Amino acid sequence: MKAINSNRNIVFLGTSLPRECGIATFTQDLLDQFEHIQGFNKPHIIAINNNETYHYSEQVMREIEQQKLSDYIDTADFLNSSDVDLLIIQHEFGIYGGESGEYLIPFIEKLSIPYVVIFHTVLTQPSSKQLHIINRVAELSVQVVTMAQSTVQDLITIYGIEATKVSFIHHGVPFVKTESRSKLKEIYGFADRKVLSTFGFLSPGKGIEYSIEAMRGVVKQHPDSLYIIWGKTHPVVKQETGEVYRQKLIDLVEEYDLQSNVLFVDKLLTQEEVIQSLVMSDIYITPYLGKDQAVSGTLAYGVGYGRVIVSTPYRYAEEMLAEGRGLLADFRDSASLEACILQLLDNPTMIKDMEDRTLELGKTMLWNEIAKTYAAMFQEIISISELSTVDASDASFAKAKLLGV
């Protein structure tokens, strides 16, 4: 039996870089922090693959082919006989095999080591299959994590999860040292421009067409404004429909004669570029179309760096932009977006006040702080698990002695 005070071995299950996936980035950011936290050995990842071939780093200890059920079973056996103290499952319906990712069920049912599950999506109207999966994954876990306060009650009431199992931990934000806003604008060639921005994978659900349309009215009053759309098309979208959505946006820019006021940066941004794009922004925009979106990594980044944010009122935005931390525009309404943007550009004092309010929350969301919360949780879970194992072992020994075995 391992010594109780030895360093802990934790493993993450989910997608892994270089696969282009938000969960892969989330996992990497959290894993990187654990390399600097005492009491833990260097964490590893079990990577879920789709049909692509990835050149993983040595931190990936094992791979699972998404649609190969036997890989899940074999991996559970592997973990059960390993020295892993705790598994952390990153959950998103689309990354696991079977209908709504149901291949995760036989995996967890065979698992004998404790695991924590981090839910990246919490639907308010799940299908019966989705409801069953979330309920079962939570039932066999030792702890459930959600990244939005608004979803805590949903997990309890909609999915029937024990309240004592549910924890709320903010989405983490990486710390990257950058130049000032004015210096970055100068470096990028945007000096003397009012910079508005959106970053992340392009897909039709992002609603960027409404932001572009809003710029028609914005530039009439602020001709120096520039809306920068950072990021490449989502890999799944590109595979299914190519660049249809991006081309639609480009055509809109030409139709509205906004070529001098809208800029596309079609590339996968490095972490440093993501943060630079935010820091140089006067306003960050998330015009998403889905009201039930419970978490947005891009919005979390915007809050983390104290940006003034204009957003549609999806669930995560309503929560994060409360108490004067941003403005909410109506869904699919370019006029409403335009009004919010102009309200800010016409009131520099309002922008400064919102930046201060947002940064106050944002400072608590940096990964080095968030990782400490996870570390304390993991240590407690592992300690309780070890004590339970010791108690069970003692009970078995006492029973055998009583029976004269």
Cross-strand pairs, 45: 12, 60
* pLDDT of 99: 97
The tokens 């036989």 sit on which residue?
A: 106
Q: Tens digits of per-residue pLDDT, 355-369?
A: 999 999 999 999 999
Tell me how far apart the alpha carbons of residues 393 and 292 are, in angstroms, rounded to a whole number.
Answer: 46
Tell me how far apart the alpha carbons of residues 80 and 74 are, in angstroms, rounded to a whole number.
Answer: 10
Q: Is the per-residue pLDDT at 402 higher than 50?
A: no
Q: How far is CA 229 from CA 145, 238, 262, 306, 371, in A?
A: 31, 17, 8, 19, 30
136 exposure class (CB count in 10 Å sphere: 0-12, 13-18, 19+) = middle
Q: How far is CA 71 from CA 68, 78, 133, in A?
A: 6, 10, 19
The region of weakest confidence among 89-98, 144-153, 376-385, 391-400 is 391-400
Tell me how far apart the alpha carbons of residues 122 and 164 are, in angstroms, rounded to a whole number.
Answer: 18
| Residue of 25, 185, 37 lying closest to 90 (CA atoms) | 25
The arithmetic mean of pLDDT across residues 345-352, rounded, is: 97
Tell me how far apart the alpha carbons of residues 391 and 38 are, in angstroms, rounded to a whole number.
Answer: 27
Residues 6+ apart with CB under 8 A from 219: 225, 258, 261
Q: How confident is the model at residue 390 (pLDDT cuts 50, 70, 90)?
A: low
* pLDDT of 388: 72
**All structural domains of the chain:** 10-172+366-400 (3.40.50.2000), 181-364 (3.40.50.2000)
Tell me how far apart the alpha carbons of residues 188 and 185 are, in angstroms, rounded to a whole number.
Answer: 5
- For residue 176, which phi and psi values (nearest 5 degrees)? -130, 125
CA angle at residue 142 from 137 to 147, to 5 degrees?
Answer: 75
Ranges of H-type helices in 85-178: 104-110, 128-140, 152-157
| Residue of 267, 286, 297 lying closest to 197 (CA atoms) | 286
* pLDDT of 386: 85
Tell me how far apart the alpha carbons of residues 107 and 39 are, in angstroms, rounded to a whole number.
Answer: 28
Q: Is the per-residue pLDDT at 397 higher than 50?
A: no
| Orientation of helix 297-304 relative to helix 271-279, angle to 10° | 60
* pLDDT of 330: 98
Tell me how far apart the alpha carbons of residues 274 and 111 are, in angstroms, rounded to a whole number.
Answer: 38
* pLDDT of 399: 42
CA 327 remoteness from chain centre: 22
The tokens 């944010």 sit on which residue?
A: 309
The tokens 């981090």 sit on which residue?
A: 118
The tokens 């006040």 sit on which residue?
A: 353
Q: What is the CA radius of gyration of the chain?
A: 23
CB of 258 closer than 8 Å to CB of 219: yes
Host H or E run for residue 370? helix 367-403
Tell me how far apart the alpha carbons of residues 60 and 11 are, in angstroms, rounded to a whole number.
Answer: 9
DSSP string, 321-356: TTTTTEEE--TT-HHHHHHHHHHHHT-HHHHHHHHH
Q: Tens digits of per-residue pLDDT, 154-207?
A: 999 999 999 999 999 999 999 999 999 999 999 999 999 999 999 999 999 999
DSSP string, 264-288: EE-S---HHHHHHHHHT-SEEEE--
Specify the length of the chain in residues.
Answer: 405
| Omega within 30 of 0 (cis) for the link into 204 | no
Tell me how far apart the alpha carbons of residues 382 and 367 are, in angstroms, rounded to a whole number.
Answer: 22
Tally Cβ neighbours within 10 Å of residue 115. 21
DSSP character at residue 101: G
The arithmetic mean of pLDDT across residues 320-325, rounded, is: 96
Tally Cβ neighbours within 10 Å of residue 174. 19
